Chain A
């Protein structure tokens, strides 16, 4: 239902009424902060303030309970915020959630070899930290402690002075492809676009861990960032980790630049981890601490069913006991058609270029096969392999269609271990590591 556009509120008048009602100075401060931060979302009207109040790190819970009281959120504001939200710096993003921000881009928008920063997907669990929103590096530091001989505290300047490396690497949300599971599991309905393959600059995590001096007892990392819990709970919204071997791998970096610029607020400013080829939640954003553990890390979203898959195949819809779930680690062989776009229109006999990317987690892409007849016949695409281990590889093929009708172009990648993408998506309870064959459909005219 579409209603009239909201009237612009008179923020000063509202503030005056707050003051007249005897609001405490801290309430007024909070009000000022919230109103001033509207601009982050580029929104006007009540929806803008609602978005700022509720989702961007103004301390959503605190602000709301202070101003409105728990359970008294003006739903009209929230509804408006959700309907009108556009995420600054991410034009064209398909927004699954505005609070927290979660969004992806359609495959045809991800055709570039190096994903432009504006088209990097966003998967947030909590609020965007105030530092990231304000782009304020003052006071940021990274702590490395736990099972190390010399705990470190490093400023941003110190980090930038260390030997740097640049990696071209895929980061892909563990739930990318969830919408292709049947039945569709709970969670963000990611289709194909929760992946980016950008150029990240930073310091090898191995260099930092060596400087701290790993003890023999070190087996795992635990990652912490500045994002806050949406419900105001006094614990991180997410804190995941990786085995020490992956932490020491040369492409795992503590990144402070992407595509030659500082990180965007939504993607981890000022510093994030980049753990290429593994589920994206390992690549912790807004990073402040790496706790080296003597056991598998047990922070929020390491246990239960989060980022975990059954140890054996399960019937679609079945949820095995927690004890049968294992941690999802590296991605598996996968490909994506970036051209033509979904719902293509061509004429019979036209030469149609099929382009896309293929990637394989810790393995290497060997081949990409293309079918235009629902998998009856396959032809090998031309594959241009990247020199970078965790970057995606470009494929290209030329197809044509014999006559009018409904057609699908399928892409199926194979890795050097003999694995390929499944034709039917195997199921798991939370929809992780989806890699079913990509199908793009269209109509062919005579």
Chain B
């Protein structure tokens, strides 16, 4: 309860768009990528990559299985994968 209060307070203070993807969010994968992946590492490296579906799946599998991001559900992994393939695929401009 106390932690929730702090979380809410800080969320309000920074006025940042935080929190889990909502039904109204047109890009749930983007939100999940930013909040879940971004909670452990910077996003500039993944954003600099241009990988196909095989390689993005490989990266996500490694993050979950090798680097301990086990709290990300399979459904969320799938949403993140779809976003990364779309936004950072091999044909996207750098």
Q: Which chain B residue has the least Cβ–Cβ distance from A100? A: B41
- Summed over the interface, the residue pairs from A and B with CB atoms below 8 Å come to a total of 121
Given known pairs A229-B68, A304-B66, the reply for A78 and B13 (CB within 8 Å) is no
Q: Which chain A residue has the least Cβ–Cβ distance from B69? A: A231
Q: Cβ of B44 and Cβ of A98 under 8 Å apart?
A: yes
Q: Cβ of A97 and Cβ of B67 under 8 Å apart?
A: no
Q: Determine the chain A residues whose CB is within 8 A of the CB of B50 once the complex forms.
A: 184
The main secondary structure of chain B at its interface with chain A is helix
Q: Cβ of A231 and Cβ of B14 under 8 Å apart?
A: no
In the complex, identify which listed stretch (A54-62, A272-280, A330-338) lies at the interface while the others stay far away: A54-62
Q: Is A46 in contact with chain B by the CB < 8 A criterion?
A: yes
Chain A 13-33 interface 0/1 with B at a Cβ cutoff of 8 Å (1 = within): 010011001111001000000
Least distance between B44 CB and chain A CB atoms (Å)? 5
Q: Cβ of A14 and Cβ of B16 under 8 Å apart?
A: no
B interface size (C-beta, 8 A): 42
Q: Which chain B residue has the least Cβ–Cβ distance from A303? A: B66
Q: Determine the chain B residues whose CB is within 8 A of the CB of A46 once the complex forms.
A: 14
Chain B 14-51 interface 0/1 with A at a Cβ cutoff of 8 Å (1 = within): 11111110000000000000111011111111001111
Q: Cβ of B42 and Cβ of A54 under 8 Å apart?
A: yes
Least distance between B55 CB and chain A CB atoms (Å)? 5
Q: Cβ of A72 and Cβ of B7 under 8 Å apart?
A: yes
Chain A 97-116 interface 0/1 with B at a Cβ cutoff of 8 Å (1 = within): 11110100000000000000
Least distance between B37 CB and chain A CB atoms (Å)? 10
Q: Which chain A residue has the least Cβ–Cβ distance from B67? A: A231
Least distance between A197 CB and chain B CB atoms (Å)? 26
Given known pairs A17-B9, A68-B7, A183-B90, the reply for A73 and B42 (CB within 8 Å) is no
Q: Cβ of A74 and Cβ of B14 under 8 Å apart?
A: yes
* Nearest 3 interchain pairs by C-beta: A233-B68, A99-B42, A74-B16
Residues of A at under 8 Å CB distance from B?
14, 17-18, 21-24, 27, 46, 54-55, 60-61, 64, 66-79, 81-82, 95-100, 102, 183-186, 188-189, 229-233, 300, 304, 319
Can you list 15 contacts pairing A with B, beta carbon distance less than 8 Å? A17-B9, A21-B5, A23-B6, A46-B14, A54-B42, A61-B39, A68-B18, A73-B35, A75-B34, A76-B15, A77-B14, A96-B45, A97-B45, A99-B41, A230-B67
